[in-house]
Amino acid sequence: MFGSTFGNIIKISTWGESHGSGVGVVLDGCPAGLKLCEEDIQLYLNRRKPGQSPYTTSRKETDTVEILSGIFEGQTTGTPISLMVRNIDQRSKDYSQITDRYRPGHADFNYDAKYGFRDYRGGGRSSGRETIGRVAAGAVAAKLLKELNIELITYTLSIGPVTIDKKNFDLGEIKNNPLYMPDKAAAAKAMEYLETCMADHNSSGGMIECIVKHIPAGVGEPVFEKLDANLGKAIMSIGAVKAFEIGDGIKAASATGKENNDGYIRTKDGQIQKQTNHSGGITGGISDGCDILLRAAVKPTPSIAAAQQTVTQDRESVEINIKGRHDPVIVPRAVVVVESMVALTLADAVLASMTTRLDKIKNFFEF
């Protein structure tokens, strides 16, 4: 299958299916000498693990990571890092009634059209379980960025019609509620909304926001390797994401130049600083030293118990009620997936930026 590899210097290849033996990733390009153990990766995987609240699938998976290569005596060796998570709670029989039926909102029909064959057990490679490999690799990338003092803060911005109030923003609250919302009052309202969706055999979408702090100016490339373009590709490659914004995003289309431009000032210590950050920390495809701010719009879970209209492979019109264990909302578990893809993209861009100036190359090699 073409398209399972992402990145240039930091490069990942994910593998596995939802109901296969396991899923995983091979990460290449990580510098040697980074302290790394299973627990570093497990912390990230636990954030996307199923069965942790009433608002996630009841599938019971420990999502325990195994490091197969690339680590010796607690440090990366500079060789490919292979990570695996075994599937232990598959219920393929849950999908026996849809072997010949195309689920609305899923990629069933598309896979048949492309390959002439599909894995109907949970969607195979199009399942959200594919993101385990991304998250495992993203944990490594995030730890590399942390060594460079680059920090990622990711959370649920909205669930359905409920949006957090930035005046109530509480960083500590993100891990205190199952929706990963940094606003306690908004989280309570969102949970009430989800209860009504579930009672109606329905699901909800939402928005995820990510802030990247301490990213230096000068990261990213112009033209086809723009940092915002690569972030957009990374986020849009997540199966449930339907839109991507950076900075003011869509609002910029209705703004004037006076409103949208970020003016520059000279600080007391002689540094250059922006007065505002409408650009979201990236201008001309290159980071400008401000926080990078991006958002991902996540669609409602397509697997719902309510009756829906579809067709069979033989083009027969039928009604379908999707059975099995499914999330009423994907957003909370997708928060760490978004963060992981941002971390991978930034780690790749940071390493690529090391070769863009001759004076820095000379300093590195002490010429």
Per-residue pLDDT reduced to its tens digit, 149-207: 999 999 999 999 999 999 999 999 999 999 999 999 999 999 999 999 999 989 999 99
Provide the pLDDT confidence category of residue 122 given band limits of 50, 70 and 90. low
Q: What span, in angstroms and rounded, lies between the C-alpha atoms of 138 and 296? A: 17
Lowest mean per-residue pLDDT among 64-73, 85-94, 228-237, 300-309: 85-94
The answer to whether residues 277 and 293 touch, using CB atoms and an 8 Å cutoff, is yes
Of 141, 139, 289, the residue nearest 215 (C-alpha)? 289
Q: What is the pLDDT of residue 278?
A: 97
Query: Does the pLDDT of residue 125 top 80, yes or no?
Result: no
Confidence (pLDDT) at 323: 72
Task: Read off the pLDDT of each residue in 124-136 and give the average, rounded to a whole number.
Answer: 88
State which residues form the domain around 19: 5-365
Q: Return the pLDDT at 172.
A: 94
Q: How confident is the model at residue 89 (pLDDT cuts 50, 70, 90)?
A: low
**Interatomic CA distance for residues 57 and 325, integer angstroms:** 5
Q: Are 153 and 210 in contact (CB under 8 A)?
A: yes
Using DSSP's 3-state secondary structure scheme, residue 312 falls into: strand
- Both structure tokens of 102: 């195309």
Biggest CA–CA distance in the chain, Å, is 72
The amino acid at residue 182 is P
For the segment 84-102, the average pLDDT, to the nearest whole number, is 73
Q: What is the pLDDT of residue 303?
A: 85
pTM of the full predicted structure? 0.93
Centroid of chain to Cα 8: 18
Residue 366 or residue 264, greater confidence: 264
Contacts of 299 (CB under 8 A, 6+ apart): 105, 205, 240, 241, 242, 330
- Per the model's pLDDT, the better-predicted residue between 68 and 111 turns out to be 68
The secondary element (H helix, E strand) that includes residue 85 is strand 81-86
pLDDT category of residue 283 using cuts at 50, 70 and 90: very high
High-pLDDT (> 70) share of the chain, % = 94
Query: Which has more confidence, 59 or 198?
Result: 198
Q: What is the pLDDT of residues 318-349, one digit of tens each?
A: 988 877 657 889 999 999 999 999 999 999 99
Mean pLDDT of the chain: 91
CA–CA distances in Å: residue 221 to residues 224, 237, 272, 341, 360: 8, 20, 20, 18, 16
Q: Quick one: which of 145, 143, 6 has its CA closest to 75? A: 143
In the chain, which ranges are continuous DSSP H helix? 38-48, 108-115, 131-147, 184-199, 227-236, 257-260, 331-353, 358-365
Task: pLDDT band for 50, please (50, 70, 90 cuts).
Answer: confident
* Total structural domains within the chain: 1
Mean pLDDT of 3-29: 93
Neighbours of 12 (CB within 10 A): 27
Integer angstrom CA distances of residue 362 from 32, 333, 349, 353, 356: 21, 44, 20, 14, 11
Of the candidate ranges 121-125, 132-136, 363-367, the one whose mean pLDDT is the lowest: 121-125
**What pLDDT is recorded for position 61?**
73
Task: Please check the confidence at residue 124 and state whether its pLDDT lies above 80.
Answer: no
Q: In sequence order, what DSSP letters do the residues of 114-160 get, joined into one string?
A: HHS----STTGGGSGGGHHHHHHHHHHHHHHHHHTT-EEEEEEEEET
Of 11-20, 53-62, 207-216, 249-258, the least confident: 53-62
With beta carbons less than 8 A apart as the criterion, state whether 209 and 247 touch: no
CATH classification at residue 241: 3.60.150.10
